[in-house]
Structure 1
Amino acid sequence: MASEEKKGGLLETVKTIVYALLIAGVFRTFLFQPFWIPSGSMKDTLLIGDFLFVNKMAYGYSYASCPSVIVPRFGIDIDAHDICGWADGDNTRLFGSEPKRGDVVVFRHPTTGRDFIKRLIGLPGDRIQMRNGILYINDQAVEVQPDGTFEEIAAPQGPQRLRPRCANGPVGEGGICIKDKLIETLPNGVSHSILNIGTQGSDNTGVFTVPEGNFFFMGDNRDNSSDSRVSSMTGGVGFVPYENLVGRADRVMFSSAGRSMLFFWTWRGDRFFKKIQ
């Protein structure tokens, strides 16, 4: 009798684990995906160490809605294509809705399949260009207003120990790293912060005409962002197909200034449940 009870208890434990995994899988596939900000390309809207949930219901579902599980340390590399590749190739979405200019979006990189997060700047048919650091949409310069400076400590940040680039560089270890901060207002009235470090090649580009069914993305930290200004085949992002969108980022849940989100003593007290502008 005791053996049967032990066997029955083990079976119930296994069932509980299986059900929990199924519920977690459904939650991550159809509702919200956790996302940890690994780089500074979206400063100061998003900081290295911000933790957020991506709203997958915002744009409907495609192959990109399936989760990827990538843990290089243990040799785990399960991409969304491995699970839902059968749904790829038609650039459509189930229950799809169009993203809006100015949305902060997580998407699959068109070449590598890795998750990226950027701001949606160009819609299908738009002409996008940078001239002297100013964004032009359909030949019209967007409104830009100075908004002081963004300051941070010149020190390694996050798990990758990335050092910030500074407009007042070179800055020694522990010094104050400064970037110019501006408020950019897009044609639909969405205003958001952007940062400027200095003059560089990406401040002047040719005209990008966004193809049908694709979108153009840029980072808010304009001089430190690999985005649609460079082809996905040469280290950038290029145009992003509609089906590659994962979801919209609406709010930071919490933020860690340390090497791990588990280091609770490094959590930033001013970023709990912070709305993403």
Structure 2
Amino acid sequence: MTLRLDAVSLHGRERPLLDTVSLTLHPGEIVAVIGPNGAGKSTLLRLASGLAAPTSGTVSLDGTPIGDLPPERLAARRAMLGQDSVLRARFSVGELVRLGIRPPCAPAQREAIASEALRRVGLEAFAGRDVMSLSGGERQRAHLARVLAQLAPSMHVGRPGFLLLDEPISAQDLARQRLVMDIARDHARQGGGCLMVLHDLNWAASRADRILVLNHGRTCAEGAPAEVLTPDMLETAFDIAAPRLRIHVETGRPFVIPHDFARFRATTERKSASCTSP
């Protein structure tokens, strides 16, 4: 079971949104996609999900071109959480989550799946609330529950499928960020795969098995966090000069301290100013 993108490109009106990017997602792993704004991260997830078709290259799921899969089979094998999930009608939180559950499914089983999904995201007490009455972070987790409910029947038969998550912690406080990342890790531990776009490099470093760095629609780096998160990569992809990265004493993984960037920038600016002729 794999989700494979082979040299995919997608051309916009003025420039390529993605340019010959390749990636294979295996069961049991989390791959984090990072990069500056406009690098093509969300476009990559849309191609991986089958919501958009590449201009060139191929996307396949379990060896089958994703465009050839019937919608019901595709929905059973992958579920996507977009960064902007817009509702066109008013739903309760419970109704929203039940929308993700694929038929056929007995009413009692639907209720059990929805309740479990809401419990996992910490919203079990919100089932009767209007989705639009929730905070931004709560709505984001309600949609995550819907996505988890979509894959629940496949999980029950031992085929967990792939979670595609676009900035799933962007509106969450620190405790809920950990909750969402734990959900992703638990999904991978049960044999599923997770491809997620993240802006927080430290969460990417601490939880991802691999990191893919995109810049201007192209692959800038790919590999284990310790291989990818380097001062050279930060300067190339993010235009941030960094003196060094710290290594966590317990995990052995790199982490970034924003204070270091501020201090280093201030130091280099002072040096630059001192060398400037009046």
Q: TM-score range by the shorter chain?
A: under 0.3
Q: Tell me which protein shows more strand as a share of its residues.
A: 1
After TM superposition, the score normalised by the length of structure 2 is: 0.24
Greater share of helix = 2
